[in-house]
Amino acid sequence: MPTNLPILLTWLRIVLIPLVVGVFFVPDAWMSGPAKNTTATVVFVVAALTDWLDGWLARRWNQTSSFGAFLDPVADKLMVTAALMILLQLSRINALVALVIVGREIAISALREWMAQLGASASVAVHWLGKIKTIVQMVAIPMLLYDAWFVFFDSHQLGTWLIWVAALMTVWSMAYYMRRAYPRILARTRPRRGRRFPRRVIDGEPPSP
């Protein structure tokens, strides 16, 4: 397993995930509700920043690796899924939103793995739709974790609008990836035409080339 700063940052992101969730289970006598919200928001933002930083450093220092390419999206999906589950537990998001976003991540991950086995991973490479969806999602989740007025706007209301936008973009991007993969899937599952049984060989007849 390679070890470099980008991969260590990815591991740090995974380590921070339990802190985002665990802070809400601290007794109220030890930490108030607003303090829990603020702490979870700060930890999530730090984790999200490591997502950008590890990719930037890996490209700048030429430290990309197959292990890092595997671990980075896993860390992202774990972080988003954990945050959505705690927001669902706190009744700050709709269950449909969580189901759509998490379900899409599972489906597209499975699709990419299958397409890689077919040698067609480029057909489901990351598209700008997926990147914008991720940005909107990463802005919405901290706002919902904070769940209070911030300067001049209600973070809960704005976060709710943005998470619904992210859910719609999730469906849109999934449809895009499925459409790109469909020809390969169709070619793989379509039965081959031709003789189903070998032609009977007549005595003395030379075999077909």
For residues 6 and 200, give the distance between their C-alpha atoms in angstroms, rounded to a whole number.
62
Rounded to the nearest 5°, which phi and psi values hold at 32? -75, 165
E strands, the chain, are: 149-150, 153-154
Question: Does residue 94 surpass a pLDDT of 90?
Answer: yes
Tokens representing 203 are: 């005595």
Question: Does residue 35 surpass a pLDDT of 80?
Answer: yes
pTM over 0.85: no
Q: Which is more confident, 176 or 32?
A: 32
For residues 33 and 22, give the distance between their C-alpha atoms in angstroms, rounded to a whole number.
13
Residue 104 sits at the vertex; the CA angle it makes with 98 and 110, to the nearest 5 degrees, is 140
Tell me the pLDDT tens digit for each residue of 50-81: 888 888 888 888 877 777 778 888 888 899 99
